[in-house]
Amino acid sequence: MRSSTARHSHQTCERPFGIEQTHGILLRPEHRIFARSDELGWSSIYASLQHEAPYADDFRAVDDHLIVLHLVGPVGVRRRLGKAEERRVIPPGGLFILPGGVDFGVTLENELDSLHIYLRQELVQEVADELGLCGAGIEILPSLGEPDLLAERLALGVRDALTEGDPAAGVYADYLSRALAARLLREHSAYRPRTSPARGGLTTAQLKLATDYMEANLERSLTLAELGRACGLSPTHFARRFKTAVGAPPHQRLMQLRVERAKRLLLSGLSIVEVALACGFAHQEHLTTVFRRRTGVTPGSFRRLARN
């Protein structure tokens, strides 16, 4: 049985994560935001893509952990933690990592295109528990410009989910948030694994429950928390076991099911717009892009070829 702390963590991670819960860097008037996750309903992660103008300011702590990926550079940055100040020239791909619960100051010396990602502390604690990490609390260590190729790739996945309008973006963002949390814990933390995480996949019954739930809700956005509950697992445990069982993460399987439904509906007489909405795609163009990528033909071509 899950503890009350674990249940509270899962409930907290399902609250919408808005810009008002961040440090306030993104609210500065000189910055120009291109995309942010407020309207996407993401709960375990907050993301924003923007152009930052040079500035200097101090910020009060928030509970959640901040990762800033520099998309251009090199850019000079000064960071203040307590009485200590450090300056680095950060190249493209460099990471600025700030643990939750820490007041800090920053001076950005040049213009910067950046991706800001916030991970909920409750999510990081949940992942730590499932990885078998020691300690009641998790100490994430700050970083100023250090490269981490895996974290960079995961962050770029978040950027893509933020900007592509993919109907599976909610599940994908949940998946990436847990992968990023695991990366922080393993490579940017004072703690190390106590035991190895479970390696098994989903049971046949659990896989059927997950697939049935996906198919019953293809027309709307889904989260890992929902899919995990359908199988009686936490989101992190579900994502890991699903990939072991299927060989692909949940968001890819969800997209496959949407394309399979689209194939059936294209032969039913519905318009392509109606098919797109019935399968959870944002619009007809998005269905066309995904359908062509996965089948090699457009929905209209598929319909004509099937009728001939």
Sorted by sequence, the CB contacts under 8 Å of residue 75 that are 6+ apart come out as: 89, 90, 108, 109, 110, 111, 112
One pLDDT digit (tens) per residue for the chain, 308 residues:
344 444 444 444 567 888 999 999 999 999 999 999 988 888 889 999 999 999 999 999 999 999 999 999 899 999 999 888 999 999 899 999 999 999 999 999 999 999 999 999 999 988 888 877 755 457 899 999 888 889 999 999 999 989 886 666 778 888 899 999 999 998 898 765 444 444 578 888 888 888 888 888 888 888 888 898 888 888 888 888 898 888 888 988 898 889 988 998 998 888 999 999 889 888 889 899 989 988 889 999 988 888 77
Main-chain phi, psi angles of 295, to 5 degrees:
-120, -20
The reported pLDDT for the residue numbered 36 is 92
3-state SS of the chain is CCCHHHHHHHHHCCCCCCHHHCCCHHHCCCCEEEEEHHHHCCCCEEEEEEEECCEEEEECCCCCEEEEEECCCCEEEEEEECCEEEEEEECCCEEEEECCCCCEEEEECCCEEEEEEEECHHHHHHHHHHHCECCCCCCECCEEEEECHHHHHHHHHHHHHHHCCCCCHHHHHHHHHHHHHHHHHHHCECCCECCCCCCCCCCHHHHHHHHHHHHHCCCCCCCHHHHHHHHCCCHHHHHHHHHHHHCCCHHHHHHHHHHHHHHHHHCCCCCHHHHHHHCCCCCHHHHHHHHHHHHCCCHHHHHHHHHC
The reported pLDDT for the residue numbered 191 is 66
The reported pLDDT for the residue numbered 197 is 45
- Structural domains present in the chain: 4-187 (2.60.120.280), 204-252 (1.10.10.60), 261-307 (1.10.10.60)
Whether pTM exceeds 0.75: no
Dig out the tokens for 216 from the structure.
Answer: 């019953």
The reported pLDDT for the residue numbered 98 is 95
Estimate to the nearest angstrom the gap between the alpha carbon of 104 and the chain centroid: 25
The reported pLDDT for the residue numbered 129 is 83
The reported pLDDT for the residue numbered 12 is 47
CA-CA distances (angstroms) from residue 229 to 90, 226, 233, 237, 253? 41, 5, 6, 11, 17
Whole-angstrom distance, CA of residue 63 vs CA of residue 86? 23
The reported pLDDT for the residue numbered 135 is 53
The reported pLDDT for the residue numbered 4 is 41
